[in-house]
Amino acid sequence: MPAEHSSRQYEQDLEAIRSKVLLMGGMVEKQFHDAMSCFRSLNIIEAERVIAADVEVKNLEVALDDACSHLIVKRQPAANDLRTVMATIKAITDLERIGDEATKIARAARTIHQRGIVPIAHEEAVRVMAESASELLHDALDFFARLDVKQATHLIIRDEIIDREFRSVMRNVITFMMEDPRTISASLDTLWVAKAIERIGDHAKNIAEYVVYVVEGKDIRHTDYATTQNLSES
């Protein structure tokens, strides 16, 4: 009976943590959305709000890390339960880093506003990148919540779309700067934003990889697991 009670309490504690992780996910989704909004509008007041919101994300990261550590010590989970906790800790770190990237975008908007420069260099391509990354992040959180390993595997491959979009933006921005050196400052700011978006896609992919780790016990980082799986299904 005590063991059953302990197991039930563990599930309750873990579910409380997972709920807060998804809350954190919603916070960084909004932070990213607002950062791109102020990049397009150059609204410095909104940019300052996005930057300030990162403190709340970081505070939640610390609280959740502490909760996970206490859960391991108190409940001593084994096997799949321990994998779940470890994957949750890693997902928390990725979410905090997404918040960092959103903050970089807001700071770029603030810099452009202070210079009085309009970000004309390939803004539409960056917007398309941001939409792809936003969708990837939203889906990654959904699949993590449901532990949907099949959809998570497909998502890992989808990240390559954002990588290709970033490489295209980078080539075009570099050409733009070479043709007109007066655009270098604005072009570099646009490039930093594009890189931040690409990194957000990478962190979303990481979260999808943790789903595979929890469900199948496989660490698929730096492997071709997703491609292999999709080829075998086709």
Joined together, the tokens standing for residue 28 give 């960084």
Select the highest-mean-pLDDT range: 23-27, 123-127, 183-187, 213-217.
23-27
How far apart CA 100 and CA 82 sit, in angstroms, is 28
**Residue 37: is its pLDDT beyond 50?**
yes
Directed axis angle between helix 149-179 and helix 123-146, to 10°? 160
Longest dimension (CA), the chain: 75
Q: Which residue did the predictor score with more confidence, 229 or 209?
A: 209
Letter string b/e over residues 135-173, b meaning 16 or more CB atoms within 10 A of that residue's CB: ebbebbbebbeeebbeebbbbbebbeebeebbeebeebb
Q: How confident is the model at residue 121 (pLDDT cuts 50, 70, 90)?
A: low
User: Sign of dihedral through CA atoms 192, 195, 199, 200?
Assistant: positive
**Which of 73-77, 169-173, 183-187, 206-210 has the lowest average pLDDT?**
183-187
Report pLDDT for 184. 84
Q: What percent of the chain has pLDDT over 70?
A: 93
**Residue 1: is its pLDDT beyond 50?**
no
How far apart CA 102 and CA 68 sit, in angstroms, is 25
**Which of 129-138, 176-185, 189-198, 210-219 has the lowest average pLDDT?**
176-185
